Amino acid sequence: MDLRSLLRSSTSASHVAIEANPRLSRLLSPNLDSDAYFDVLARYYGFFAPLEAELLASPFALSDMRERVKTPALVTDLAVGGRSVNELPVCSFVPPISTRAELLGVMYVLEGSAMGGMQIARHLAGFEFTRGRASFFVSDGAAVSARWKSFLAELESLPESEWASASASAVRTFEALDRWMAGS
């Protein structure tokens, strides 16, 4: 088994749980309204902002980490929708990033969410209130696939002795995101 297969297997239950999260499942509802949409964006901001700050500050950060962060897109989407991030709550329980394996485990979740974001963007295109306010889901545009492949190359370079740590970090990231999105 390779690391990608291990991550897919170890996070499968967490992936199912996050897709069933009531707040996130509203994104794909045919009855999505503006308030629900911006609520989801605000919660994403509260999770991504502190987590991406940790990723950027990590000595293990990938060389193109600045191009991978999604927080600026969330700030823009919320601002265009008339919302400020200044008073939004931020998650205080983001997963730790003290090793390269932990960083890659976190990134497995975030990079995978960029791939899923493209599918969400197609659904959101049908709602007037998302026009010009969905860059978080399409912020990487055509580069998403190339970045995913680049990330996979980094992932495959992790020594097998560190795979369990990367896997545990990915699970913790999914669990923290699910817990944060379920909060009020």
How many residues are present in the chain? 184
- pLDDT tier, 86 (very low <50, low <70, confident <90, very high otherwise): very high
Asked if pLDDT for residue 91 goes beyond 70, the answer is yes
- For 158, the 3-state DSSP assignment is coil
pLDDT of residue 140: 60
Query: pLDDT for 137-181, tens place per residue?
Result: 985 666 888 888 999 999 999 999 999 999 999 999 999 999 999
pTM for the full model?
0.94
Is the separation of the CB atoms in 65 and 110 below 8 Å?
Answer: no
pLDDT of residue 31: 94
Using CB atoms within 10 Å of the CB of residue 37, give its burial: 0 to 12 exposed, 13 to 18 middle, 19+ buried: buried
pLDDT of residue 154: 94
* Distance, C-alpha 30 to centroid of its chain: 23
Is the separation of the CB atoms in 177 and 108 below 8 Å?
Answer: no
pLDDT of residue 133: 85
Helix, strand and coil percent figures for the chain, each rounded to 5:
70, 0, 30
Using CB atoms within 10 Å of the CB of residue 159, give its burial: 0 to 12 exposed, 13 to 18 middle, 19+ buried: exposed
Report the mean per-residue pLDDT for the chain.
93
pLDDT of residue 132: 81
- pLDDT tier, 107 (very low <50, low <70, confident <90, very high otherwise): very high
**Mean pLDDT throughout 79-87?**
93
Q: How far apart are the first and last CA of the chain?
A: 39
- pLDDT tier, 131 (very low <50, low <70, confident <90, very high otherwise): confident
Query: pLDDT for 13-23, tens place per residue?
Result: 999 999 999 99
Percent of the chain with pLDDT over 90: 79
Query: pLDDT for 23-62, tens place per residue?
Result: 999 999 999 999 999 999 999 999 999 999 999 999 999 9
- Complete domains list, the chain, with CATH: 3-182 (1.20.910.10)
CA distances from 46 to 18, 67, 68, 105, 172 (A): 16, 19, 17, 20, 17
Q: Alpha helices, DSSP H only, in 87-162?
A: 100-124, 135-138, 143-156
